[in-house]
Structure 1
Amino acid sequence: MATSIKDVAREANVSIATVSRVLNDIDVVNEDTKKRVLEAIKKLGYRPNIVARSLKTQRTKTIGILVPDISSGFYPEIVRGAEDVSNIYDYNVILCNSDFDSEKEKEYLRVLSEKMVDGVIYMSSSLEGEILSLINELSLRTILVETKDKEESLPSVTIDNIKATYDATKHLINKGLKKIAFVGVTKDNMNAWSDRYIGYENAMNDSNLPIDEDLVFLKDLKVKSGYDAVEKFESLNKRCEAVVCASDEIAMGVINAFRDRGINVPEDVSVIGFNNNAFASVFYPKLTTINQPSYDMGSVAMRMLIKMLSKKQSEQDETKEKSQYVLDYSLIERESCK
């Protein structure tokens, strides 16, 4: 038979109300009594009924984390950072993978709302108006990670994606390379990935270098896109001196495609990635890339969300705290550039 809150109260020699206050972290219980209750909970192996508890507190101690691609080498580290912080504060995590599908994102937001999560850490493939409206409609307390909405209406944790890709492109230009291709995502998308094309474009324009549209391939962030991009360049008889990639996965696809055609990296062409994912330092050749502090992005976002949840709405309205965090990035030089 499962242990009940009555059993805990009997073991600790306190009232059921006192056990409830300890479980809900209400500060009116003195330390000695609180310690006795916690010892009784541990001894009896008591686990509170989350559903019943949430009806009283309007809290489930659960956070939803929505990622666009859990198979990526980048997002798991963000999730790990978020989960490590959630464990410190006794929050549970529900992980959702959208496969870069905005319809799946909308469905998961509805599911998380039905599950009565306290808040959401959201990595979106597209911050289109419908999704932002849905977040407001469902009253989901949300922190964006990696990207931010145009109006900055939602708190976010990002890096400066435009400047990062600008720096990556200038790194190649400063090496004397001029014919530079780009593989990534269209700049018309409302997300961090589209900002990376803008950074490339700005660096080329500022250096008075022409952008050859035949050397621009815009699709998604996967390995196959990198491979397909090189196939396209080769079919058009277009050769480049370097390729700026919007993800490390793309960079790996680009390098493999060049290798299959007898084109050597970095001897014949330089390739630079983005993210510094788990494979960037062990792939051959090791990738020069932009390092995003992925673990920190997750942990900062979770701390922001839990801090938000710990305050009453009136307190949040009165306190204008910083809500747009832009973390530092770095360029890591390895072996894929001359």
Structure 2
Amino acid sequence: MTVTIYDVAREAGVSMATVSRVVNNNPNVKPQTRKKVFEAIERLGYRPNAVARGLASKKTTTVGVVIPDISNAIFAEVARGIEDIANMYHYNIILCNADKRKDKEIRVVNTLLEKQVDGLLFMGGTVTEEHLQAFKSANVPIVLCATTDEHGSMPSVDIDHESAAFDAVSALTGAGHRRIAMISGTLQDPSNGYARFQGYRRALEAAGIPYDESLVRVGNYRYESGVEAMKYFLELDERPTAVFAATDEMAIGAIHYIQDFGLRVPEDVSVISVDNTRMASMVRPQLSSVAQPMYDIGAVSMRLLTKLMKKEQVDQLRVILPHELITRQSVAAAR
């Protein structure tokens, strides 16, 4: 049978109110009484009912986290930052995978809210009006993590994706490349897709290079779409001398296809990307990439959420963290 607070009180010879105070770390309990209650809890194997405590306090000390792709290493790093700060502030995490599907994202958000989470971290793609309606109906704080909404109306933590892409492509133009292709994410995605595409165009313009629509292919952030895009580029009458990929995974797909085609990276085609996941240093040649501070994005997002949940003063609701260009062996001077 389930051990109850009444059983612990009877075993310890104290009131149920005293057991409750001990379980909830109330300081107004004598050390000797506290010891007696803990000994009774250990003997009986009592576990406090978190649901019942949540109903009484109107807090569950639980945070819901919506993650777009649990198999993607970059989101695992964000989740680690979230969890470390959550543990520091004694919050539990419910992690839900949404498969980058809008309908599932909204369903998961509503499910987490029904679970009475104290707050929500959303790591999705495009934040649509439907998302915003679901967020507005919540009576708990919500922070966008590694993404932003188009109008900047939600608290968020991210990098400047346009500037990150600009820096990556500028490294190529600085090496003398003029015919630069891009493997983009979906342009409906405001950060990884559209913002990085805008950064690509801005870097071309800054270098006096006209935009060529035939040098842009839209991928799905995955390795296979990098392979497919590179196959298209190498079949052009005038091949690009450099490629900017919106993610490391697509960039690695591009590198492998270039090599399978019989060309060399970076001697024949230079490749650069954004993200700087662990894969960037595992591929050969090692991939130059713009590093996102993914752990920090998760940690800062969770800290911002704790402040909102505790109604502490928040000086900045939209946080932009710095990025850094990591130069490795996949970029060479244009011939």
Do both share a fold (TM > 0.5)? yes
Comparing 64-73 and 74-83, the one that deviates more: 64-73
Cα pair 2:308 2:314 within 8 Å, conserved: no
CA displacement 1:81-132 (0-9 Å, x = unmatched): 1112222233221111122111111111111112221111111111111111
* Secondary structure, counterpart of 1:177 in structure 2: coil
Cα pair 2:62 2:92 within 8 Å, conserved: yes
Residue type at the aligned position of 1:261 = F
Q: Distance in 1 between matches of 2:32 and 2:301?
A: 34
Q: Distance in 2 between matches of 1:156 and 1:34?
A: 46
Residue type at the aligned position of 1:48 = P
Q: Distance in 2 between matches of 1:227 and 1:191?
A: 22
Q: Distance in 2 between matches of 1:275 and 1:38?
A: 51
CA displacement 1:315-338 (0-9 Å, x = unmatched): x6xx45311111111111111111
Q: Distance in 1 between matches of 2:13 and 2:82?
A: 37
Q: Distance in 2 between matches of 1:25 and 1:132?
A: 38
* Structure 1 portions without partners, runs of 5+: none
> Residue 330 of structure 2 aligns with which residue?
336
* Structure 2 portions without partners, runs of 5+: none
Residue type at the aligned position of 1:195 = A
* Secondary structure, counterpart of 1:191 in structure 2: helix
The alpha carbon displacement at 1:194 in A equals: 2.1
Distance 1:204 1:136, change over 3 A: same
Q: Does 1:327 align with 2:321?
A: yes
Distance 1:30 1:168, change over 3 A: farther
> Residue 56 of structure 1 aligns with which residue?
56
Residue type at the aligned position of 1:336 = S
Q: How does 1:85-104 map to 2 (within 5 A)?
A: 85-104=85-104
Residue type at the aligned position of 1:322 = Q
Q: Does 1:162 align with 2:162?
A: yes
> Residue 308 of structure 1 aligns with which residue?
308
> Residue 240 of structure 2 aligns with which residue?
240
Cα pair 2:147 2:156 within 8 Å, conserved: yes
Cα pair 1:63 1:117 within 8 Å, conserved: yes
Cα pair 2:266 2:331 within 8 Å, conserved: yes
Q: Does 1:286 align with 2:286?
A: yes
The alpha carbon displacement at 1:14 in A equals: 4.8
TM-score by length of 2: 0.91
Comparing 46-55 and 248-257, the one that deviates more: 46-55
For this pair of structures, how many residues does the alignment match? 331
The alpha carbon displacement at 1:221 in A equals: 0.9
Q: Distance in 2 between matches of 1:295 and 1:34?
A: 42
Distance 1:78 1:320, change over 3 A: closer
The alpha carbon displacement at 1:191 in A equals: 3.3
Distance 1:42 1:337, change over 3 A: farther
TM-score by length of 1: 0.90
* Secondary structure, counterpart of 1:284 in structure 2: coil
Cα pair 1:9 1:37 within 8 Å, conserved: no
Q: Distance in 2 between matches of 1:216 and 1:12?
A: 72
Q: Percent same amino acid among aligned pairs?
A: 39
Q: How does 1:12-51 map to 2 (within 5 A)?
A: 14-24=14-24, 29=28, 32=31, 36=35, 39-40=38-39, 43-44=42-43, 45-51=45-51
